[in-house]
Amino acid sequence: MALSQKVNIAYNEKGGPLLDVNTDKKIVYNTKDLNLWYGKDHALKNINLAVYEREVTAIIGPSGCGKSTYIKTLNRMVQLVPTVRISGDISYRGKSILDKSYKVEDLRTRVGMVFQKPNPFPKSIYDNVAYGPRIHGIKNRKILDQIVEKSLRGAAIWDEVKDRLNENAYGLSGGQQQRLCIARCLAIEPDVILMDEPTSALDPKSTLKVEELIHELKKEYSIIIVTHNMQQAARISDKTAFFLNGEVVEYDETDVIFSNPSDKRTEDYITGRFG
């Protein structure tokens, strides 16, 4: 039986889910009956999924199955596409984020995101990291200095860039750029970090570095990562959700998914029989 059916949730006073009663683990995100359409295109179908605190949750599945769409729904970036329609509910820390009254800017300061292609701003390394704190009103240079250092250290890139903080971020290699983007995301001290195939544009060595970093980050942050590298999911995640055609086929402990999947399609996918 898949995890999504096993969950037994404690609710907060407003009716939002907070705790998995079975495991006593805190729930960060709970998705209930989520459906999403791009125009007429039904991209997500009845998604039910609980994401736990300080864990790495991997989302795998073949191309076009809705992985990116789902993860972008979690910080409402998906709504930048004008044709999107959503039904169902996602609660973050017990509050429904699909509610109109929930400010996206607020949500996104708590939920950081790292993209498939590194996308540093065309500014200096320092300004890239300081961007987030600055827009939130932190102007004090000393404090900014500290934030920048801490975030770059947190993203395991400090030693490589500490002498060139004022150089343009585009002078960095792809792997460094990606870690810089992670640092940029850490600078606003998020609660959750969403990662959409963060290593797919990187070479194996850089990929390894980022994977190690994710392992470190998990101590402080909850991480949701999309990947279509099965090995990667197996290496770094605690839980894995397998998406297919917009549906969650199976969601469980990563060990279970990779060693003993309960659905035939999951097995087929993992053993490389399609996708």
Partner 1 sequence: MEANSAIKEGNAVNVREMIEEKKSKRSMTNVIELIMPKVLLAIATISILTTIGILFTLLSETIEFFSRVPFLDFFTGTVLRPLSQNPEFGVLPLLTGTIISSVIAMFVAVPIGLMTAIYLSEYASDKIRRLLKPMLEILAGIPTIVYGFFAFTFVTPILRELIPGLQATNILSPGIVMGIMIIPMVASLSEDAMSSVPNSMREGALALGSTKLEVTKKVIIPAAMSGIVASFVLGISRAIGETMIVTIASGSSKNFTFDITQSMQTMTAYIVEVSSGDAPSGSTIYYSLYAVAMTLFVFTFLMNLLARYISRKFREEY
Partner 2 sequence: MKYVDAAVVQKKMNSRLATNSIAKTIFLLSTMFGLIVLAVLIFRVLSEGITWINIDFLTGRLSTHADRAGIMGAILGTLWLMVVVAPVTMLIGVGTAIYLECYAKRGRIHSFIQTNISNLAGVPSIVFGILGLTIFVRALDLGNIILAGGLTMALLVLPIVVVASQEAIRAVPAQLSEASYGMGATKWQTIKNIILPAALPGILTGAILSLSRAIGETAPLVVIGIPALLIPFPGGIMDRFTVLPMQIYYWTLDSSLVAEYANLAAATIVVLLVVLFLLNSIAIVIRNKFQQRY
158 touching partner 2, by CB under 8 A: no
How far is it, in rounded angstroms, from Cα 134 to Cα 83?
Answer: 32
Both structure tokens of 150: 């801490």
Q: Would you count residue 26 as binding ligand ATP (CB under 6 A)?
A: no
Count of positions on this chain that bind partner 2 (CB under 8 A): 38
- Report the site for partner 1 in 105-124 (rule: CB under 8 A): 105-110, 112-113, 115, 117, 119-123
Of residues 201, 202, 198, the one with CA closest to residue 214: 198
How far, in Å, CA of 231 to CA of 223, rounded?
17
Distance between CA atoms of 59 and 205, rounded to whole angstroms? 22
Helices in the chain by DSSP H: which ranges? 3-6, 67-74, 104-110, 125-135, 141-154, 158-161, 174-186, 204-217, 230-236, 254-259, 264-270
Residue 94 interacts with which of partner 1, partner 2, ligand ATP, none, CB < 5 to 8 Å by class: partner 1
Residue among 149 and 253 whose Cβ is closer to partner 1: 149
Residue 68 binds what, of partner 1, Mg ion, partner 2, none (CB under 5 to 8 Å, by partner type)? Answer: Mg ion
How, if at all, do strands 222-226 and 56-60 pair? parallel
As measured in angstroms, the least distance from the Cβ of 177 to ligand ATP is: 19
Instruction: Examine residue 98 and tell whether it contacts partner 2 (CB under 8 A).
Output: no
Min CB(123)–partner 1 separation in Å:
7
User: Does position 150 bind partner 1 by CB under 8 A?
Assistant: yes
Considering the complex, state which of residue 95 and residue 265 has its C-beta at the smaller distance from partner 1: 95
Binding mask 207-226 for partner 2 (x = CB under 8 A): --------------------
Helix (H, G, I), strand (E, B) or coil at 256: helix
Spatial separation of the C-alpha atoms in residues 175 and 274, rounded to whole Å: 29
Task: Please state the closest distance from residue 196 (CB atom) to Mg ion, in A.
Answer: 6
Three-state DSSP state, 59:
strand
**Packed helices 174-186 and 141-154: angle between N→C axes, nearest 10 degrees:** 130
Distance CA 135, CA 147 (A): 14
Q: Provide the minimum distance between the beta carbon of 72 and Mg ion in the complex, in angstroms, as a whole number.
A: 9
- Rule CB under 8 A: which residues touch partner 2? 75, 77, 80, 82, 103-109, 112-113, 115, 117, 119-123, 131-133, 135-138, 143, 146-147, 150, 170, 181, 184-185, 187-189
- Rule CB under 8 A: which residues touch partner 1? 12, 18, 53, 75, 77, 80, 82, 93-94, 105-110, 112-113, 115, 117, 119-123, 131-138, 143, 146-147, 150, 170, 181, 184-185, 187-189, 191, 220
